[in-house]
Structure 1
Amino acid sequence: MTEDLVVHAAARSASVVRLAQELIRRASRGGLDGYGPVLSVLENWLSAHSLPHRRLHDEAGDLVGLLVEIAGGQPGPWWTLDACVDTAPFGDEEAWSFSPVAGDIVGGFLRGRGAADSKLAAAMYCHIAADLLPVADGMCGGLAVLLDVDEHTGGFGGARAYLNDPQAVTPAGVMIGYPGMDDVVVGGRGLWRATLTVAAESGHSGSSRKVLGAVSRAARLIRLLDTADLPGPPGAGTLFALPPKLSVTAVHGGEGFSVTPDRCDVNVDVRTTPAFGADDAEALVRQVAAELDAELPGPAATRVTSVASWPPFQLQPHEQPAAAMLDAAACLGITVRAKTAGPSNIGNLLAGRGISATAGFGVPYSGLHGIDERASLAELPQVYAVYHRAVLTLLHTP
């Protein structure tokens, strides 16, 4: 079976690349571009290949993705392939050596924003769905392909719409098509985010009376946060080998020059682990805020407003769908490791719903979220065959 899948994947690669090129040529930056054009390309392809699909909308009625659903002829769990088709912003376009929407192939690389993350994966998943459609009667459960947008905004509108859709079957597991061929990502740190509001007396910057403004108090707060004592990495041999991490990500306060501000807001992002969760993160940040107020008292206590929280997640290598992915790679002679990633991703959202996920195995790449994004095409047949075999295993298809 393995050899046949590799031959088949090689034959499908040209079509996968053509679809990915069309997707890259439709700008779909999260929160900046409309998603209609890029999703229309997918709708046209899915319709031409008789794949059942429908649009997903968020609570406001905005289009946030497409869902392909292929029901098997036998009972069993459903599994999902997920790839986002919105992208990161272009950044400084003058720094690119080619157009961010080039969608061309140079030196064996597909070029343009979204080539790596994750329009090539979206095109591949559509083709795998088309491969399974003729043999659906022999499948147990079913396969869904989620082609979502609103991912790079951090809102994950497409994934949320899918999970909240009463017509959709809740999947037993999801395989997310982030790029990178060295690892099958089986976990990720969680997060706890908050805004800290620092208060002070306002006044004229030229006043003879010394006033410690909110920005100055916030500067001390940031120093306390940056030096806060967090647990170190766990011991050797632990699959979840990453420590927690605290970052100050934004500061907003003051205006002009003549007024000492009475308010400054500080955004804090804490990446959490199984040993240091959201409650621990909140307790630490509140303790630091209390230290500031004791050291440099203000007219009001520093306010901590939690804005987001996701749990960390981690699959053991023997758990599905991680096991199917790792086994498929091994059968094709690809050496990969099970990895827990530092950044959070849709896998964290899924973990909060009790749904297992892998969050990355794909082609090699460069420039992801940076300039000159591109994806290597030489390895595409192998990656295609790994996902194809994994899905067949999960659906118990001969």
Structure 2
Amino acid sequence: MPQQPTPLDPVQLTADLIRCPSVTPEEGGALALLEAHLGAAGFACTRVDRNGVPNLFARWGAKGAARSFGFNGHTDVVPVGNEAAWTHPPFSGALVDGELWGRGATDMKSGVAAFVAAAVDFVQETPPEGAIVIAITGDEEGPGKDGTLALLDWMRAEGEAMSVCLVGEPTCPEHLGDMMKIGRRGSVTFRITARGVQGHVAYPHRANNPLHALIDLLGRMTAEPLDQGTEHFDASSLQVTTVDCGNPANNVIPAEARATLNIRFNDLHSGASLTTWAQELIDAVAAETGIAFTLDADISGESFITPPGEFVALVARAVEAETGLVPELSTSGGTSDARFMKDHCPVLEFGLVGKTMHKVDERIETEQITRLKAIYARILREYFA
């Protein structure tokens, strides 16, 4: 009787990944470790590095298969902050009292380890009719220009495809299974510069204060809510994050003032429509005050949603079967690489409880990692049933 392969332990794999110091954009050995495990299980692996950013594509099964289940995630992590403030070294992967400690324990080396372990075991124990694709980037926590986007560009050129994709980001606020993400809000950052005429504060008629005009503009932008929310999205949120003119003197009207604001927006808007809205307000204030404005808009992602349907129901069933919880279908939170994947195929996000992500003493209960692997394994079984 042929010997069954030993199941891949997602806790040990997470610990091994944590010990790879992969602060964006350093690879730190994380992708090499995953490539070794995936390659040994029969996945065809390709490094898709671009502009110094490390990425890994792995496929089990035939290219162009009619059914192809995709997983997406990242092995890069944010900086550790004050290393001396950590209870256990941030790249130790210390296992203490049922918790795994280290940078990336929650966001998201555990998620990557869970879906890699689930996929490796699945193809060895019950090879499916179809393909499993794993796309992992080293640039999710960074600019994001040469990470998942590079993988998608390469896939398009090579004829590779996913039918659906599950991103393993931490999605649960309190308990494993209480939330999955079926979409995300968009994000646009506006950097506004107002240029006036410098002068003495005692002679304002000889100057033109850009701060007054800028404050007027920001007041108009924040006077009314952008909307009241939609069926699947909360109300859009505009937040002014900084106002500055770099003026150390109290008797000088400055020549220039700057402000930065960010809008997290729902499906009533787009980055372009909000930029047009901002420019129209700017033009009105400029005409009234004589202040010259410039607007720089950085659209980091558009809002999107994967409507409830077969894929959403499949993932929700698997989560409930393994956790006993019916996951809330949410679009809350920040942005993720799902904003890129949604242009390729239907995409959902489900992962661990994210309470300690990006914090000093980031850690996760090992039981969650084991249960997450079981959820991903059930999803694969149902998808290919």
Size of the aligned set, in residue pairs, is: 370
1:142-186 alpha-carbon deviations (Å, 9 max, x no partner): 111112111011425221111101225122221111122211111
1:7-32 C-alpha deviation (Å, 9 max, x unpaired):
x9xx847x22122112212222225x
Q: Secondary structure at the match of 1:370?
A: coil
Matches within 5 A, 1:305-324: 305-308=296-299, 310-320=301-311, 322-324=312-314
TM-superposed CA distance for 1:129, in Å, is 2.5
**1:85-143 superposed Cα distances (whole Å, 9 cap, x missing partner):** 11122233344333222311222211111100100111122212312333675422x11
Q: 1:290: which partner in 2? A: 283
Report the equivalent of 1:3: none
Partner of 2:46: 54
Q: 1:385 to 1:286 in 2, by over 3 A?
A: same
Q: RMSD between aligned alpha carbons?
A: 2.9
* Residue 72 (structure 1) shift: 4.8
Counterpart CA distance in 2 for 1:287 and 1:121 is: 44
Partners of 2:338 and 2:63 in 1: CA distance: 28
The alpha-carbon deviation at position 261 of structure 1 amounts to 4.6
Q: Is the 8 A contact 1:193 1:306 kept in 2?
A: yes
Distance 1:217 1:30, change over 3 A: farther
Question: In structure 2, what residue type is equivalent to 1:262?
Answer: A
Among candidates 90, 98, 103, match of residue 93 of structure 2: 103
Q: Secondary structure at the match of 2:229?
A: coil
1:80 aligned onto 2:70 = yes
| Structure 1 match to 2:59 | 69
Q: How far off is 1:198 after superposition? A: 1.5
Offset of residue 215 of structure 1: 4.8
1:248 alignment partner, one of 240, 253, 257: 240
Structure 2 counterparts to residues 1-398 of structure 1, below 5 A? 12=7, 15-31=9-25, 34-58=26-50, 60=51, 62-72=52-62, 75-134=65-124, 138-140=128-130, 142-165=131-154, 166-167=157-158, 169-179=160-170, 180=172, 181=176, 182-202=178-198, 209-210=203-204, 211-215=207-211, 217-234=213-230, 238=231, 240-251=232-243, 253-254=245-246, 257=249, 261-298=254-291, 300=292, 302-308=293-299, 310-320=301-311, 322-335=312-325, 336-351=327-342, 353-359=343-349, 361-394=350-383, 396-397=384-385
Contact 1:192 1:306 in 2 (8 A): yes
Q: Residue 333 and residue 98 in structure 1: after superposition, are their counterparts in 2 closer, same or farther (change >3 A)?
A: closer
Q: Which stretches in structure 2 are left out of the alignment for 5+ residues?
A: none
Residues in 1 aligned to 2:82 and 2:280: alpha-carbon distance in whole angstroms: 40
Cα shift readout 1:331-367 (whole Å, capped 9, x = no counterpart): 335212222223222222222x2521112x2233432
TM-score (norm 2): 0.85
Whole-Å Cα distance in 2 between the matches of residues 222 and 345 of structure 1? 28
How many Å separate the matches in 2 of 1:198 and 1:337?
Answer: 44
Displacement of 1:279: 4.1
Q: Determine if contact 1:84/1:122 at 8 Å carries over to the other structure.
A: yes
Cα pair distance change 1:265/1:12, threshold 3 Å: farther
Q: 1:47 to 1:347 in 2, by over 3 A?
A: closer
Please tell me the residue identity of whatever aligns with 1:29. V
Cα separation, 2, equivalents of 1:98 and 1:162: 34
Looking at structure 2, the residues matched to 213 and 153 of structure 1 have their Cα atoms a distance apart, in angstroms, of: 37
**How far has the Cα of 1:221 moved from its partner?**
3.4
Q: 1 CA distance for matches of 2:373 and 2:49?
A: 29
Q: Which residue of 2 aligns with 1:4?
A: none
CA distance in 2, matches of 1:292, 1:106: 59
| 292 and 12 in structure 1: CA distance in 2 versus 1, 3 angstrom threshold | farther
| Alpha-carbon distance between aligned partners in 2 of 1:91 and 1:292, rounded to the nearest angstrom | 41
